[in-house]
């Protein structure tokens, strides 16, 4: 039995993890068609063999735990689009707060020329982020993942900029 070929999409790593979480949670079938298996219906047996499970007893192993146990997204079910968005919002706010604190720290420790250079870099980065991220979700336009991919872009770029500012000397 061959598996259908799925197109490869260029998405940020964090988005790929979110999509993988959704797939592992059973929200996407192997073809990517988005069929959600129902717990009250036994899955079709492989290659004509009878199902080892009655229709009323879904396998516990087939339903992975997708709820975050710790960290900034603790308690959120990352197989649920709304929870993905809440998690990304929390991560963005945290990274943005840290980025702004580091930026202010760097600005306070620079002479006029250093402040001007840092300000130019920061403005260039903001323009780049504001230009790229709204376009990041185009592959998912109109779908529920569109806003997730866009939010992930903002988080990823902000976290990358924060790392850059933390290395700044």
In a domain, 119, yes or no: yes
In a domain, 54, yes or no: no
C-beta separation of 118 from 110 below 8 A: yes
In a domain, 34, yes or no: no
In a domain, 159, yes or no: yes
pLDDT digits (tens, 9 = 90+) for 61-97: 443 477 888 899 999 999 999 999 999 999 999 999 9
Banded model confidence at residue 21, pLDDT cuts 50, 70, 90: very low
Q: What total number of domains does the chain contain?
A: 1
Q: Give me the CATH number covering residue 146.
A: 1.20.1270.180
Estimate to the nearest angstrom the gap between the alpha carbon of 76 and the chain centroid.
13
Q: Specify the 3-state DSSP secondary structure of 77.
A: strand
Cβ neighbourhood burial of 127 (10 Å; 0-12, 13-18, 19+):
exposed
In a domain, 57, yes or no: no
Q: What residues make up the domain containing 154?
A: 81-167
Banded model confidence at residue 56, pLDDT cuts 50, 70, 90: very low
The CA R_g of the chain, rounded to the nearest whole Å, is 21
In a domain, 107, yes or no: yes
Task: State residue 68's pLDDT score.
Answer: 83
In a domain, 20, yes or no: no
Task: State residue 96's pLDDT score.
Answer: 97
- DSSP lists the bridge partners of residue 67 as 77
In a domain, 100, yes or no: yes
End-to-end CA distance of the chain: 57
Residue whose C-alpha is closest to residue 18's, from 135, 158, 155: 155
Average pLDDT over residues 127-142: 96
């Amino acid at each position: 039995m061959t598996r259908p070929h799925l197109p490869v999409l260029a998405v940020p790593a964090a988005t790929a993890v979110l999509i993988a979480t959704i797939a592992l949670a059973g929200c996407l079938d192997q073809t990517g068609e988005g069929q959600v298996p129902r717990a009250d219906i036994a899955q079709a047996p492989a290659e004509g063999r009878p199902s080892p499970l009655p229709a009323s007893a879904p396998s516990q192993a087939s339903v992975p735990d997708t709820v975050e146990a710790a960290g900034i997204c603790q308690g959120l079910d990352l197989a649920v689009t709304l929870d993905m968005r809440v998690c990304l919002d929390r991560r963005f706010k945290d990274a943005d707060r840290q980025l702004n604190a580091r930026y202010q720290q760097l600005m306070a420790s620079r002479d006029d020329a250093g402040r001007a250079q840092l300000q130019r870099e920061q403005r260039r980065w903001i323009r780049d982020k504001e230009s790229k991220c709204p376009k990041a979700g185009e592959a998912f336009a109109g779908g529920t993942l569109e806003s997730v991919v866009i939010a992930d872009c903002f988080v990823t770029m902000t976290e990358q900029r924060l790392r850059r500012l933390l290395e700044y000397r």
